[in-house]
Amino acid sequence: MNSNQMVRSGVEVVDPLSASWAEQIRVEHLTKHFHSEDPPAVDDLSFSLHAGEILALLGPSGCGKTTTLRMIAGFELPNAGRIHLHGRDVTDLSPQQRKIGIVFQDYALFPHMTVEQNVSFAMRHLPKAKRPAKAVEWLALMGLSTLTTRYPHELSGGQQQRVALARTLAAEPDLVLLDEPFSNLDASLRESTRNEMRHLFKQAGTTVILVTHDQAEALTFADKVGVMSAGKLVQLDTPQMVYQYPSNAFVARFLGHTNLISGEAEDGKVKTPLGELVVADGVAGEVRLSLRPEDLFLTQSMDGKGAKVVGREFRGHDYFYILEQDGAQYCVITPSHHCFDIGSRVNISVLRTGAVLPD
């Protein structure tokens, strides 16, 4: 753990004068072309992270997120742009010179080595005599103290994941890159392993960049979420801001179900098919709003009018509804004790201020 960082009663406390507030990585105008006649795989991408921050790069297949990770790691050279670690330009350095740790999707453990040997292998910065004891310390941190003599094929997927993480952290990297590290795990193990890894990264003050196509994974794991489309970073913000205040319709749709509603704004209000909605002051003219399914509330219609329930999906803790009203469709999520029959009529009301899409 960083000497200026402590954990008290489960709450992380950071010294504001600590170096952990320093900029860890800065990426400036990164661009990558694989073929000159094709659009760039990564197009003028810039961002920065402070020490201890976790960034998730999120987007559909082919959006450029893995290429971005590979350029940061040094496996691909950019056609333009620079990469700085601790203020040092590392753009032209080899992967070995960058002091970056990588956890791959397949974990890449050495099958002929025990768990302890796999972790010891990463500690080339230490004398050989000190590596086994230090490896045991890292494995204890991962809850793997009893598995040091096992081989990778004798471990579960979650255990292999933690060994790979222990090996990565044992090298004491300045930055850890995660390339879809949870995709090979089943749903329940994926969630528990993800939570454990986030806790360990935060405890160690490690800076992390995660590449994923899983929206829930990005929102729960990261401090910042960067949404990519066609090589561009279209929005970078906290998970809450990206989800509730998307920068455009693509981000709104990619981060889950949403209702895109147009209307005329005046004096902080918008006239829409769902009635008059409140928006931020200063908004005027034709606007487009994003309303998440949980932002809408349903009540039974007493006069047979309103929206018609055309689809219903029971998801345990809630219902997901598809509604039709005046030729438009809406999606709504309600608690599981609010059940409306397919074909019935309901009234839709809005629970929060509408999020106006900038474009």
Determine the CATH number of domain 257-356: 2.40.50.140
| Structure confidence at residue 43 (pLDDT) | 97
Residue closest to 209 by CA, chosen among 242, 236, 246, 245: 236
**Residue spans per domain, the chain:** 5-99+174-250, 257-356
Strand partners, 12: 7
| Structure confidence at residue 73 (pLDDT) | 94
Q: The domain 5-99+174-250 belongs to what CATH superfamily? A: P-loop containing nucleotide triphosphate hydrolases (3.40.50.300)
Strand order in the sheet with 269-272: 275-278, 269-272, 259-266, 285-291, 355-356
| Structure confidence at residue 161 (pLDDT) | 81
Residues (pLDDT < 50) of the chain are 1-20
Global confidence as pTM: 0.82
| Structure confidence at residue 13 (pLDDT) | 32
Common-topology check for domains 5-99+174-250 and 257-356: no
CB distance 210 to 54 below 8 Å:
yes
Residue-wise DSSP of 12-23:
EEE-TTSGGGSE
Q: CA torsion, points 259, 265, 271, 275, in degrees to nearest 10?
A: 60
| Structure confidence at residue 17 (pLDDT) | 33
Query: For residue 248, what are its two tokens?
Result: 């455009």
